[in-house]
Structure 1
C-alpha cells in the first residue's frame, strides 16, 4: 500500500442554503460543488503577506474569492479556458485517513468542464513547492482526487507570456454593449488570416473595433498565438 493511500475519505461542503454536509467520497458525483458556499473564509488582516481579494469571473458571472495574487493569476487562466464551465474557490474540504494519520485539506480551486469532468487545483508559492508539508499535502490530495475520479494539479507560477496576454484580454471579458454591432463585421473579416491592426482598420472605426477584437479573442471566437507578445501585428483568425 502506498504511504498516502487513503483508507477513509469523506468530503465536507456547505450547501447554498447554508447546511453543512459531510459525505462519503463515493457520493461526490451527486454534489454540485460549484453551487456550494465556501467551506472556509479567506482571512484578511493588516500586515498579512498574501494579497486576498475578489475576481469577477466571466464563466460564472459572479465574484470568486482568492487568497493570493498567484491564485488570482490562475483564476484568470481558468476563466479563459474554454472547456471550463464552472469555477468555485474553497468549495470543499477533504477529510482523509492514511497510514500517517488523519488529515484535512481545502483545495484552492474547483472547476467543472463541459464534459462533466472535474479538475481540482492547488496554487503554491514556488519557494514552498519542495516543503515536506506541501509535498505530503499534494500527494494526499492527488491520491484522494484519483479515488474520486477527479483530475488534480498543484501549480506555481504560470507561463509569464501567456499569462500577460490572457490578463490583457481579461480586461475585455465582460459582455459587449454599445459596440456589439461590430462583432459580425469583425468575425467576417477574420475569416481569412489578418492582423489586429488590419482587422480594426477594416471596420472603419478602429478605436471602437479594438475592444471588440480583444473581447472576441477572450471569448475565443477569434484566435491567435498567446505564447508570443500581443500587439498590433499579432495575426488573428476566426475559429
Structure 2
C-alpha cells in the first residue's frame, strides 16, 4: 500500500476588502486603513486628505474658518461649505469636525471609485457623521446621486451616519451666521457673564436683559456670545429679536 503525503490545510480566506480610506494624521503621516477598521480612527483630528488652490475667475470661494468648538482653523472649498462649518460649530451635539477628512478608494460591481467627503463630524455621544456639501442644483445629478449612494452604503457598513446637504434653511442660517460673529473668547465683557446668567434665571427678553447693565451695548455682545455657546438658550425656530425670550441653560431646555 503506497503512502500518501499528508494534506495541507489551506487557510480560509474571507472576502477581500474592497474599500480603503487614505488620510493624514495630525503629525502629517499618511495612513491607509481598510473600511472595516475605519471606526477606530479619530478622523475628526485628521488633516485634509487633499489640497485645493485659489485662482482668479474660479467659481468656488475657498477660505479658512476658525472653529470655536475645537480652536482649529479649517480650510473650506466653497462658501456653501463654510456655512455648514458654522452650523456644525454651533450645534451643541457636535464635539469636533474636520474638513476633507479622508480619500475613499472603493471597488464595487459598477467598477472602481474614489471620493473625498467634505466633512467628518464627531458627536459628544461618540457617534459620527460624514457630510457631503453640494449646491441644490447638483444634488440630483446622476453622478452625484451614485457617489452619495456609495458613500452612504460605506458609512452604514462602518457604523456612521451620512448626509448630503445643500443650502441650509434661511432662518437657521441667518441666526447662526449672526451669532457666529460673537463666538470668540470674551475679553472686556467677561465680568458680565455671571450677572447676565443670574438675571436670566427666568425667561427674559433680550432687550430687557441688556437694559439692566450700565453699558447695554457691551452687554448685548455678551448675550450673543452666551447664545452661541448655549449658556443662554432660546427658540431657534423664531427670528432673533430684542423681544426673543432667553433663559440660562442650567434651568432647563430651550424656551
Q: TM-score, normalised by structure 2?
A: 0.89
Any idea what SS the aligned residue of 1:158 has? coil
Deviation at 1:203, TM superposition (A): 2.3
Deviation at 1:62, TM superposition (A): 1.6
Which deviates the most, 176-185 or 33-42? 33-42
Equivalent of residue 62 in structure 2, options 33, 52, 55:
52
Partners of 1:89 and 1:120 in 2: CA distance: 10
Any idea what SS the aligned residue of 1:175 has? coil
Give the aligned partner of residue 5 of structure 2.
none
Q: Is residue 189 from structure 1 mapped to residue 199 from structure 2 by the alignment?
A: yes
Give the aligned partner of residue 19 of structure 2.
9
Partners of 1:18 and 1:172 in 2: CA distance: 32
Partners of 2:202 and 2:28 in 1: CA distance: 52
Q: Is residue 111 from structure 1 mapped to residue 121 from structure 2 by the alignment?
A: yes
Which deviates the most, 67-76 or 16-25? 16-25
Give the aligned partner of residue 158 of structure 1.
168
Give the aligned partner of residue 3 of structure 1.
none
- 1:7 touches 1:96 (CA, 8 Å); kept in 2? no
Gaps of 5+ in 2: 1-15, 250-255
- 2:179 touches 2:225 (CA, 8 Å); kept in 1? yes
Partners of 1:185 and 1:18 in 2: CA distance: 45
Deviation at 1:228, TM superposition (A): 2.0
Deviation at 1:16, TM superposition (A): 2.0
Partners of 2:86 and 2:170 in 1: CA distance: 13
Which deviates the most, 41-50 or 167-176? 41-50
Give the aligned partner of residue 42 of structure 1.
52
Which deviates the most, 10-19 or 59-68? 10-19
Any idea what SS the aligned residue of 2:214 has? coil
Partners of 1:70 and 1:149 in 2: CA distance: 27
Give the aligned partner of residue 101 of structure 1.
111
Q: Cα RMSD (Å) of the superposition?
A: 1.3
- 1:42 touches 1:65 (CA, 8 Å); kept in 2? no
Q: Deviations over 1:63-110 (max 9, x none)?
A: 111111111111100000011111100011111111100111100001
Partners of 2:29 and 2:247 in 1: CA distance: 48
- 2:45 touches 2:97 (CA, 8 Å); kept in 1? no
Deviation at 1:7, TM superposition (A): 6.6
Matches within 5 A, 1:120-199: 120-199=130-209
Question: How many residues are treated as equivalent by the alignment?
Answer: 234
Asked which structure has the greater CA Rg, the reply is 2
Higher RCO structure (Cα 8 Å, ≥6 apart): 1
Q: Is residue 86 from structure 1 mapped to residue 86 from structure 2 by the alignment?
A: no
Deviation at 1:30, TM superposition (A): 2.2
